[in-house]
């Protein structure tokens, strides 16, 4: 197969875990497409509740997936804004719909399983209503134009999503609905990844993983797995904020750290501190696993990880220990988005940059894939790249179980054709939908 890498030369996993996964998804190969309902109908740079509430057509989405032979649908039921896309008594649902319920209903008689993605520590809404649960900076500094002070909460301008006011609604009124909205506006669309959005800039918060935010999350998880018949529950943002090195230095975290590692252990820069961070995240993963499995054995648990250098990034900043987390949760899902860094469609330089990141992401996986103790199902992007780049990623990052593609809106007609052809000719689905 063109461009495929024989990943079994680099990594082995428990065959029983693979069998369990295949039977949970009732497929030999997983072919998944993801949808982020709150990000509107174009790409993922907008936060658009009006679109979700009034226009998102669930049946149309499922028909399109079926036509393209996808056998798994990944729905982001909670994005970084914090909105809950289901009928919830505990969380915040700003739209008048039960999106998850609608997809479950429409998907019932189709050969498409539903998995959900659940943003955990990053939560803009909770950051506003529970500032006492937001993680705290341990130093004073400046990062990518953001100034922060020791002791302050880590609520900052959101990098990715922008908001347009709905027609005829004033800023003041809209802020009542979306309390994390700010009056700052991004006017121009840039080519650098973090500068592609246009519109009002919201804030976002990384919550403290030792705060009551975790209890809140677990209640939401219980509610979802209880109410809906889903095949997979994947935790996203199961980590600290990757932009800063000094989180979280709240009293809760410092007390717990000293209790576990002694009063002499150094905060922020010590191997004890990094262990503490990854243990904290693993503790959440363990609780998540228990809640899911106690409710239903049929639901596969998973987590999304950001590829990158182990020491500098995943250990020191994110607190994601791949071995620990993949020993707890059923499936690991590395987010392999090299062509989000640059696409040939934006010009020669951006194409080169994308290619460089593709090479780097592959190399990084070759080096680190042995750290995973579970099956791996990578997610790669169709949005903001072209069909050739998309296919290259799909072939490169299929670690044997299939591939997930991010995301439904933003995929071009060219890409939809390529996706269908890939399903028919390459991925190896046993029965096409």
- List contacts with Zn ion (CB under 5 A): 208, 210, 248, 250, 252-253
Q: Which is nearer to Zn ion, 120 or 210 (CB)?
A: 210
For residues 365 and 354, give the distance between their C-alpha atoms in angstroms, rounded to a whole number: 17
What is the layout of strands, in order, in the sheet containing 181-186? 155-157, 199-205, 181-186
Q: Which is nearer to Zn ion, 120 or 231 (CB)?
A: 120
Contact 343, 385 (CB under 8 A): yes
- Crossing angle of helices 271-295 and 213-227, in 10° steps, is 30
For residues 423 and 112, give the distance between their C-alpha atoms in angstroms, rounded to a whole number: 14
| Least CB distance to Zn ion at residue 264 (A) | 20
| Least CB distance to Zn ion at residue 316 (A) | 16
Q: Which helix (H) or strand (E) holds 200?
A: strand 199-205
For residues 381 and 334, give the distance between their C-alpha atoms in angstroms, rounded to a whole number: 12
For residues 376 and 378, give the distance between their C-alpha atoms in angstroms, rounded to a whole number: 6
Burial 333-362, CB ≥16 within 10 A → b, else e: bbbbbbbbbbbbeeeeebbebbbebbeebb
| Least CB distance to Zn ion at residue 274 (A) | 15
State the DSSP string of 155-166.
EEE-SS-BBPPP
Q: Which helix (H) or strand (E) holds 193?
A: none
| Least CB distance to Zn ion at residue 253 (A) | 3
Q: Which is nearer to Zn ion, 58 or 208 (CB)?
A: 208
| Least CB distance to Zn ion at residue 249 (A) | 7
Q: Which is nearer to Zn ion, 256 or 366 (CB)?
A: 256
Q: Is 83 exposed, middle or buried (0-12, 13-18, 19+ CB in 10 A)?
A: buried
Q: Which is nearer to Zn ion, 267 or 362 (CB)?
A: 267
Pair of tokens at residue 180 = 């994390």
| Least CB distance to Zn ion at residue 265 (A) | 16
Q: Which is nearer to Zn ion, 34 or 253 (CB)?
A: 253
CA distances (Å), 374 to each of 20, 69, 296, in order? 11, 26, 20
Q: Which is nearer to Zn ion, 141 or 194 (CB)?
A: 141
| Least CB distance to Zn ion at residue 341 (A) | 31
For residues 96 and 85, give the distance between their C-alpha atoms in angstroms, rounded to a whole number: 10
Q: Which is nearer to Zn ion, 32 or 253 (CB)?
A: 253
The Cβ of residue 286 has, within 10 Å, a number of other Cβ atoms equal to: 15
Q: Which is nearer to Zn ion, 247 or 379 (CB)?
A: 247
Strand 379-381, strand 331-336: pairing: parallel
Q: Which is nearer to Zn ion, 248 or 353 (CB)?
A: 248
For residues 125 and 75, give the distance between their C-alpha atoms in angstroms, rounded to a whole number: 20
| Least CB distance to Zn ion at residue 208 (A) | 3
Token pair 């393209």 in the structure block, residue = 68
For residues 213 and 309, give the distance between their C-alpha atoms in angstroms, rounded to a whole number: 28
| Least CB distance to Zn ion at residue 250 (A) | 3
| Least CB distance to Zn ion at residue 80 (A) | 19
């Amino acid at each position: 197969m063109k461009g495929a890498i024989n990943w079994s030369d680099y990594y082995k996993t428990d065959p029983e875990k693979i069998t369990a996964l295949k039977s949970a998804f009732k497929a030999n190969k997983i072919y998944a497409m993801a949808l982020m309902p709150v990000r509107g109908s174009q790409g993922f740079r907008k936060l658009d509740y009006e679109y979700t509430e009034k226009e998102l057509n669930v049946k149309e989405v499922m028909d399109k997936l079926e036509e393209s032979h996808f056998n798994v649908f990944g729905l982001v039921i909670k994005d970084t804004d914090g909105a809950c896309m289901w009928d919830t008594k505990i969380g915040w649902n700003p739209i008048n719909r039960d999106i998850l319920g609608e997809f479950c209903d429409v998907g019932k008689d189709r050969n498409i399983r539903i998995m959900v993605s659940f943003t955990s520590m990053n939560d803009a809404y909770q950051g506003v209503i529970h500032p006492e649960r937001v993680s705290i900076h341990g130093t004073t500094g400046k990062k990518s134009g953001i100034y922060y002070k020791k002791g302050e909460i880590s609520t900052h301008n959101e990098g990715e999503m922008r908001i347009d006011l709905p027609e005829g609604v004033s800023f003041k009124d809209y802020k009542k609905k979306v309390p994390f909205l700010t009056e700052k506006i991004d006017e121009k669309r840039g080519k650098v990844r973090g500068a592609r959005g246009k519109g009002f800039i919201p804030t976002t918060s990384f919550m403290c993983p030792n705060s009551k935010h975790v209890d809140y999350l677990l209640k939401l998880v219980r509610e979802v797995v209880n109410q809906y018949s889903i095949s997979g529950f994947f935790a996203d943002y199961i980590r600290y904020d990757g932009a800063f090195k000094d989180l979280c230095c709240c009293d809760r975290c410092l007390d717990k750290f000293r209790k576990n590692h002694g009063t002499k252990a150094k905060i922020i820069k010590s191997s004890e501190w990094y262990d503490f961070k990854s243990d904290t995240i693993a503790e959440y993963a363990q609780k998540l696993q228990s809640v899911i499995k106690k409710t239903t054995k049929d639901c596969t648990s998973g987590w999304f990880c950001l590829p990158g250098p182990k020491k500098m990034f995943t250990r020191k900043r994110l607190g994601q220990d791949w071995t620990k987390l993949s020993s707890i949760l059923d499936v690991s899902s590395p987010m392999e988005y090299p062509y989000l860094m640059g696409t040939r469609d934006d010009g020669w330089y951006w194409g080169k940059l994308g290619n460089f990141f593709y090479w780097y992401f592959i190399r990084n996986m070759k080096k680190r894939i042995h750290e995973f103790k579970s099956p791996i199902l990578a997610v790669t992007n169709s949005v903001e790249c072209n069909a050739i780049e998309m296919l290259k990623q799909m072939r490169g990052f299929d670690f044997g179980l299939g591939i997930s593609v991010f995301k439904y809106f933003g995929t071009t007609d060219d890409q939809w054709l390529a996706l269908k052809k890939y399903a028919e000719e390459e991925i190896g689905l046993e029965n096409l939908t």
